[in-house]
Amino acid sequence: MRLVGGVLVSLICLRQTDLKALIAYSSVAHIGIVLAGLITITYSGICGSYTLIIAHGLCSSGLFCLANISYERLGSRRLLINKGLLNFIPSIAL
């Protein structure tokens, strides 16, 4: 059931136009995948869940920081306005 929820939230992510909402919904999808791995109660499931939750903690905070930086510079969190931002600020690709 958690895997189905993760897939449904991932489908919701495809329709998002707000950067912060996209990051938040993808966080929910990641947590669904972590729960699905934990429910298996196997070594690989628990190790994979642990690895994903550490990676999620590092990446999502960085993504929220980048969304805030782009909001401060452009005044908008819309994905269509921010899509060419990599050409103007290549340092955010790091």
How far apart CA 67 and CA 65 sit, in angstroms, is 5
CB 27 within 8 A of CB 60: yes
- Please provide the average confidence, as pLDDT, over all residues in the chain: 83
Structure tokens at 41: 């109660």
Whole-angstrom distance, CA of residue 58 vs CA of residue 27: 12
pLDDT, average across residues 43-64: 90
What pLDDT is recorded for position 47? 93
Q: Given a cut of 70, is residue 2 above it in pLDDT?
A: no
Mean pLDDT in residue range 56-60: 89
Q: How many helices (H) and strands (E) does the chain have?
A: 5, 0
Which has the higher per-residue pLDDT, 16 or 84?
A: 16
Q: Which of 29-33, 41-45, 54-58 is predicted with the least confidence, judged by mean pLDDT?
A: 29-33
Find where tokens 């452009």 sit.
74
